[in-house]
Amino acid sequence: MLISFGERLNEPANRAALALRAELGRLTWDGIEEVSTSLVSTYIRFDPLHLDHRTLRTKLEGLLASKDWYGAPLPENRRLWRIPAVFGSELAPQLEQAASAAGLSPEDAIAQLAAARVRVQTIGFAPGQPYLGELPEAWDIPRQSQLTNRIPEGALAVAIRQMVLFSVATPTGWMHVGQTAVQLFQPQSANPFVLRPGDEVAFTPATAEEITNLRADPMGGAKAEVLK
Amino acid sequence: MTRSLKVLRIGPGCTVQDAGRPGWLEYGVSRGGAADRLALAEGAALLAQSHTLAALEMVGMGGEFEATEDLRIALTGAPMKASIDGSAIAWNASHVLPAGARLSIGAALRGTYGYLHVGGGLVVPEQLGARSVHLSAGIGAACQSGDTLPVGEDGQFQTGLGLKVANRFEGGQVRMVASLQTHLFAEKDRARFEQTQFRRGTRGNRMGVPLDSDGAAFSPDGGRTVLSEVISPGDIQITGDGTPYLLLAECQTTGGYPRIGTVIPCDLPLLAQAPAGAPLCFQFVTLEAALEAEEKARSHQSGLRTACKPLIRDPHTIADLLSYQLISGAIAGEEDVL
């Protein structure tokens, strides 16, 4: 069952989805097998032979009516991550193209991206891979119709006021404006996923050489603090 | 030597699979697990063991294997030609694989995914709470010639059981329910979808399969773009060029292509098994009908163990008949299920 808080991505809808997911995690209703979120929705996987659709729907309607989810506080134990990134350079060749699409000089584009504090709106498509937002309005630029053949792991790319920090190398239509050394999915590690939905992220400017050196560390120099 | 199964030779894309890895959707990892869940349950029933144990999933063809100790094995899913040291053995059945004997499994006669189960299960290390390989997430890797697969302890001895299995290996009709984006498609397009005779495309894999047809492309009303939303296995998304694409166990967790409907879980084994070119057609059913079908499928699964019956062999097909000890009534049980 899917509870959708909007047809378009916006901050209150994303907040509502995250808050409802956190509440369902606390309530642990019998019959619910898994809860997750997408950009604006909360998803419930349940066993319909154990918990029927009508009962679940009635319980959810009660829960939804119990407060204003669009204004609900974000989940607890969120973290602020600071991740070193180089903007532009041979490691991130599309910075100038993206800046020009956003109507900014390369310097202003870097300043805006480095100053942005974005939220992990959802994780999806590939393991541990976040959609980050929301960027200032200038960044409402379309994805490229011509796909980039291969964007590397750790790449930071922009489009439609969002950033994606790639956890795998893949073809993409997003524009490659930054490069980090973080490995977001570490299947062998005790904590295989670096980011959680709801976390906040800021990118600390670094040089291409610093990023290359940080590759020895799977965390790529990323540091977290718990948000109060 | 530890209890294990040696892989002497194996086809491409064969992986260790169990019931999958739930609980990681919000981190972008789909549940994965065996493409044909029913085959996994059938193997567990034949060996009278837990359906959570891992087996080897073979894609289109098997390989050659050798056990380091006597092992109980069972073969389920897409029927493949199988033999132990040259003597043919039955599919959908359990057998003894003696230490050092050569198990040969050939190409699939029908269907796509065949399963080799061992008593005690394959006990490759768990990652994120399951043993199943998830190729698209990069968890584990396909089996290679020369690999040694560790096998768990098995306190049981019974083999020579067979299971009668309905043919789900040549395509057919499946049931789907309306889902969150079905309404984006005009009623006449939904009706046309139900009337279309599709063929399973050739580019399919564990993530999903394209559905080819000769008719016009399918597209949502007004070509609306939709926000990326949660995907579940069984969803049929309409890709950019209008080709429907059915998502399977190893699908991505979210997707932005509109979805016309969702195939009900108990019909997914038939879809996963349909070989390239097999005919497929789809029928919308009500939620009530879908639930009834699921309930029936579940009770079928829980009855599998009692449905396993001793194999009966035709003496004419037993090349080494006289080497058997025939007077005490022991049944080695190999050819011809039931």
Q: What's residue B239's pLDDT?
A: 84
Q: What is the pLDDT of residues A154-183, one digit of tens each?
A: 999 999 899 999 999 988 889 999 999 999
Residues of B with CB under 8 A from a CB of A: 22-29, 127-128, 137-139, 180, 227-230, 232, 252-255, 287, 291, 294-295, 298
The C-alpha torsion from B117 through B121 and B124 to B125, rounded to 10°, is 150
For residue A47, the number of C-alpha atoms closer than 13 Å in the C-beta half-sphere is 8
Q: Alpha helices of chain A — where are they, by DSSP H?
A: 11-27, 53-65, 95-101, 106-115, 208-214
Who among B28, B138, B295 is closest to A124 (CB)?
Answer: B28
CB contact under 8 Å between B138 and A122, yes or no, is no
Residue with tokens 């959810």: A60
- Separation CA A180–CA B46 (nearest Å): 51
Who among B22, B28, B294 is closest to A123 (CB)?
Answer: B28
Strand partners, B292: none
Q: What's residue A161's pLDDT?
A: 93
Closest by CA position to A165, among listed A129, A133, A198, A127: A129
The DSSP code sequence of B150-192 is EB---------EE------SS-EEEEEE--TTGGGS-HHHHHH
pLDDT tens series, chain A, 228 aa: 999 999 888 999 999 999 999 999 999 999 999 999 999 999 999 999 999 999 999 999 999 999 999 999 998 889 999 999 999 999 999 999 999 999 999 999 999 999 999 999 999 989 999 999 999 999 999 888 788 889 999 999 999 899 999 999 988 889 999 999 999 999 988 899 999 999 999 999 999 999 999 999 999 999 999 998
- Separation CA A58–CA A34 (nearest Å): 18
Q: B140 to chain A: nearest residue by CA?
A: A187
Pairs across A and B, CB distance < 8 A:
87
SS3 content of chain A, % helix, strand, coil (to 5): 25, 30, 45
- With a threshold of 0.95, tell me whether the complex ipTM lies above it: no
Q: What's residue B335's pLDDT?
A: 47
Residues from chain A that touch B294, judged by Cβ atoms under 8 A, are 48-49
CB contact under 8 Å between A2 and B229, yes or no, is yes
- Phi/psi for A131 (5° steps) reads -95, 125
**What are the per-10-residue average pLDDT scores of chain B (338 residues)?**
92 97 95 98 98 97 97 98 96 97 97 98 96 95 98 95 96 96 93 96 93 88 71 92 92 90 97 97 97 97 96 69 57 49
Residues of A with CB under 8 A from a CB of B: 2, 4, 7-9, 21, 33-41, 43, 45, 48-49, 53, 122-129, 167-168, 185, 187-188, 192-193, 196-197
Domain positions in chain B are: 4-162+308-323, 172-298
3-class DSSP assignment, residue B57 = strand
Per-residue buried b or exposed e for A167-179, using 16+ beta carbons within 10 Å of the residue's own CB? bbebebebbbbbb
- Separation CA A166–CA A144 (nearest Å): 17
Q: A52 to chain B: nearest residue by CA?
A: B291
The pair of three-digit structure tokens given for residue A147, joined into one six-digit string:
């796909």
pTM, to two decimals: 0.91
Which domains, ranges and CATH numbers included, belong to chain A? 2-71 (3.30.1360.40), 79-226 (2.40.100.10)
Q: What's residue A228's pLDDT?
A: 80
Residues from chain B that touch A124, judged by Cβ atoms under 8 A, are 28, 228, 252-254
CB contact under 8 Å between A127 and B295, yes or no, is no
Closest by CA position to B198, among listed B139, B150, B250, B238: B238
Q: What's residue B2's pLDDT?
A: 85
> Which H/E stretch holds residue B268?
helix B268-273
- Span B172-298: which CATH code? 2.40.100.10
Helix axes B37-46, B287-302, angle to 10 degrees: 20
The C-alpha torsion from A164 through A170 and A174 to A176, rounded to 10°, is 80
First to last CA, chain B: 36
